[in-house]
Chains A and B, each alone.
Chain A
Amino acid sequence: MSFLAITRATLGKDIRLEWRSKDAINAMLFFSLLVVVIFSFAFDPTAEDSRRIAGGLVWVAFLFAAIVALNQTWAREVRNQVLDAYRVSPAPANPLFLAKAIGNFLFVSVLEALMTPLFIAFYKLRALGPGWELLPIAVLGTWALVVNGTFFAAISLRTRSREIMLPALLFPLSIPALLGMVNATTAVLTGEGVLRFWIALLVAYDVVFTTACLLLFRTVLEAE
């Protein structure tokens, strides 16, 4: 099978499973809803304040929620020895990784699309800058979280208490990405600040780590 065919097959299987069970998306939705509600009690912001802090709140909520989906990424494959089978098969490792990363990207994107209206309503947000620029920021930021998250979920499979290990490995490395997403979002919402630098930073982060993940995934997959 070709690279694309394997990616498509794995991705299709994951989406079908998620569509029928809705495990990850339901857990993420409820979790981020809780985060939104708790944040709004914790801060009780006025419209002017909320514009400045909303970028941070939104992304922290998405980051925590994404962990839920990321932790589930490989668990199913381990349970049924799919990873062992994959190691034995002649299929290259990267299509598997790409399919998983794209799958997580789609799940987290759906979450973001559903949660953003709620955020806007709860925090009375109105962008002072060009609002459409939030879209590329969301795409780049989500990919930044998801690509490393999928990779480190594969590493944390081989540890004790893996649910805690994933954030412990992922968060320190994600600091530049988080700075990029939060500041770019805040720049759009407040209409001040330099948007272009943060987008460039996110692009650099995505390129560097996507490359690194693709180069090193086979090593991680084959490690027992």
Chain B
Amino acid sequence: MKRGFPILAMVTGLLLSLALYEALIAAPTEKTMGDVQRIFYYHVPSAWTAFLLFLINFVASVVYLIRRDSKSDIVALVSAEVGVVFCTVVLITGPIWARPVWGIWWTWDLRLTLTLVLWLIYVSYLILRRFSTSSQTPLLAAVLAIFGALDVPLVYFSIWFFRTQHPSPVIGGGGSLDPRMAHVLLLNWVAFLSLAWLVCSTRYRLEVAQREVDEAEAVESLLEGSR
């Protein structure tokens, strides 16, 4: 994995620049929204990446509860951290896009609310990991991740019903997507996935190293104490 880093970093850099060019210059301008719509190529791939990472977090948490190995715990930690970052990008780019198009910064629409609630759940997950004094933090975190995953369908249905009772603003999209736009969107997603993979694998190595250091320090202080 160590040797793979420069290659992966180069591929990610190339993909991201190509995706940037495609999104800002090559993609056709949207008829009604104009250039603002180009934020779409960052907003949507970030959302997909974040949801994928949250899914990975859930799977890794279940695996951890079954196997109790530190590997799946680190995968869960890393995917939650990077997922929260991508989710934050979604929540920031969303209002920037919504303001000129819908005329409002925020609306309590299904997808927005669900994303916000997911973000809240995973931030609380990270807070638990940070504040825990337990020697079995991974276990408590895995339990919380499973509760979070169970909550998602309930949040979905409650907001879906809550919103259908109220007038909602016109949501962009819904119609068919121009094939050229779809192409640029997919390219951006691939670039974002590559970036996510790069960040996650680096963070994974960092966490492994950190745990080795912690362990070595613990052993050292034990040895010193016994002297």
A118-149 residues at the B interface, CB under 8 angstroms: 148
The answer to whether B140 and A176 touch across the interface, beta carbons within 8 angstroms, is no
When distances are taken between beta carbons in the complex, the residues of chain A under 8 Å from B139 are 219-220, 223
The answer to whether A165 and B128 touch across the interface, beta carbons within 8 angstroms, is yes
The answer to whether A209 and B150 touch across the interface, beta carbons within 8 angstroms, is yes
Q: Which of B136, B146, B154 contacts A201 (CB 8 A)?
A: B154
The answer to whether A204 and B146 touch across the interface, beta carbons within 8 angstroms, is no
Say yes or no for A82: interface residue by CB 8 A criterion: no
Indicate whether A183 sits within 8 Å of B120 (C-beta atoms), given known contacts A165-B131, A223-B140: no
The answer to whether A212 and B161 touch across the interface, beta carbons within 8 angstroms, is no
The answer to whether A219 and B124 touch across the interface, beta carbons within 8 angstroms, is no
A75-133 residues at the B interface, CB under 8 angstroms: none
Indicate whether A176 sits within 8 Å of B134 (C-beta atoms), given known contacts A183-B162, A219-B143: no
Q: Which of A171, A179, A212, A224 contacts B159 (CB 8 A)?
A: A179
Complex alpha-carbon distance, A204 and B156, angstroms: 13
Say yes or no for A47: interface residue by CB 8 A criterion: no
When distances are taken between beta carbons in the complex, the residues of chain B under 8 Å from A30 are none
The answer to whether B135 and A224 touch across the interface, beta carbons within 8 angstroms, is yes
When distances are taken between beta carbons in the complex, the residues of chain B under 8 Å from A180 are 158
Say yes or no for B132: interface residue by CB 8 A criterion: yes
When distances are taken between beta carbons in the complex, the residues of chain A under 8 Å from B199 are none
Q: Which of B131, B135, B140, B155 contacts A175 (CB 8 A)?
A: B155
Say yes or no for B105: interface residue by CB 8 A criterion: no
Say yes or no for B127: interface residue by CB 8 A criterion: yes
Max chain A C-beta neighbours (<10 A), residue from B120, B143, B162: B143
A165-224 residues at the B interface, CB under 8 angstroms: 165, 168-169, 171-173, 175-177, 179-180, 183, 193-194, 197-198, 201, 204-205, 208-209, 212, 216, 219-220, 223-224
Contact-residue bracket for chain A? 20 to 34
B14-37 residues at the A interface, CB under 8 angstroms: none
Say yes or no for A160: interface residue by CB 8 A criterion: yes
Complex alpha-carbon distance, A197 and B162, angstroms: 10
Say yes or no for A161: interface residue by CB 8 A criterion: yes
Complex alpha-carbon distance, A219 and B141, angstroms: 12
Q: Which of B124, B140, B154 contacts A168 (CB 8 A)?
A: B124
When distances are taken between beta carbons in the complex, the residues of chain A under 8 Å from B148 are 172-173
The answer to whether B144 and A169 touch across the interface, beta carbons within 8 angstroms, is yes
The answer to whether A158 and B158 touch across the interface, beta carbons within 8 angstroms, is no
The answer to whether B134 and A175 touch across the interface, beta carbons within 8 angstroms, is no
A2-17 interface code vs B (CB 8 A; 1 in, 0 out): 0000000000000000
Max chain B C-beta neighbours (<10 A), residue from A155, A171, A177, A220: A155
When distances are taken between beta carbons in the complex, the residues of chain B under 8 Å from A208 are 150, 154
- Beyond A193-B165, A201-B161, A209-B150, 10 additional pairs, beta carbon < 8 A: A155-B128, A155-B143, A158-B136, A172-B117, A176-B151, A179-B159, A179-B162, A212-B147, A220-B139, A223-B140
Report, nearest first, the 7 A-B pairs whose CB atoms are least far apart: A158-B134, A223-B136, A172-B120, A176-B154, A176-B158, A159-B131, A179-B158
**A interface residues (Cβ-Cβ under 8 A, vs B):** 148, 155, 158-161, 165, 168-169, 171-173, 175-177, 179-180, 183, 193-194, 197-198, 201, 204-205, 208-209, 212, 216, 219-220, 223-224
**Can you list 14 pairs linking A and B with CB atoms under 8 Å apart?**
A158-B140, A159-B133, A161-B131, A172-B151, A173-B124, A175-B120, A175-B151, A175-B158, A176-B155, A180-B158, A183-B162, A197-B161, A201-B158, A208-B150
